[in-house]
Structure 1
C-alpha cells in the first residue's frame, strides 16, 4: 500500500480521483487546500490492482457447457417465465451471453455473416453492468472467464 498526493485545480478534483481509482485500488480521497488557497491537495491511500487472470480459450471456457440447442431452450424458457428482463438474475445474463458468444464463435469458424458477434458483445456488456465491472478490452473474454468459473461450481 502507498499514498498518492496530488495538487490540482479544484475543478479537476473529481476527474483526477476517478482516473486514479481506475488505475489503482484507492480509498476515499482526503482533501486539503494548498497554502496559497488556489488549488487543492488530494491524498489517497492506494494499492496496485491484482494481476488479472488470463482469459480462458473458448474451448476451455465452454468445455462443460450443454449443447447450444439446449441453452437456447433454457434461455427462451427462462425469459418467458420472467417477462421483465431487467428482473432476471445474473445466471440468466451469464448463460445468455455465453450462448451468444458460442454462436458467434461458430459463425466465425464457418465464415457465416451475422450479427451474432454484436449481440454477444452487447449481452456481455449487460453482464458486466450487472457485475459492476470496470471496462474490459473485450467483454466476450470476460464472459468466457465468468462462465468457466460458474460451470466449475455447478
Structure 2
C-alpha cells in the first residue's frame, strides 16, 4: 500500500526494505523523514498535534502518488504520515521513492514532499509556552510546489 496515515511510529529500514521488494529493477531509493522540531517561529514546542479527515486525506495522498508516477514513469512511492500528539524529535512523515536511477529517485521524492506540504489535508496545532496555536501554511511551501509548475490549491488538477 503506497499511502498510510497512522498514529504509530514507523521504522525506516523496514519500510524501505518492503518498498524495494516491490520491484527488482530499481537501482535507487530516495527518502525523506520529517520530524517534530523543538522550536518554531521563535517559540519552544512542547508537542505537535496533527489532525486529518479520514478518507479524504488518504485520497489526497494517493493523488500525490499518481501525479509523481505520471511525471516519472516506473517509480514506486511510499508515503507514511502520522497523526495524533507528537513530541519533539518524533517522526512525522516518511516519503520514499524508488527508480532505476538516482536522479529520478531524488527528484520524485522532493516533488512528493513539496506537493504533500501544500496539498495534503492535515491540520497542525503546536503546544508552546504561550499556549496552543494552529500552524499556518508557509509561502515557502507554495513556492517550492510552484517550481514544479503546480499552483497550490490546484494540485489535484495537475496534469503533466
- Higher RCO (CA < 8 A, seq sep 6+): 2
Please tell me whether Structure 1 or Structure 2 has the larger radius of gyration of its CA atoms.
1
The two structures share one fold, judged by TM-score above 0.5: no
Question: Which one has a larger percent strand, Structure 1 or Structure 2?
Answer: 2
Question: Which one has a larger percent helix, Structure 1 or Structure 2?
Answer: 1
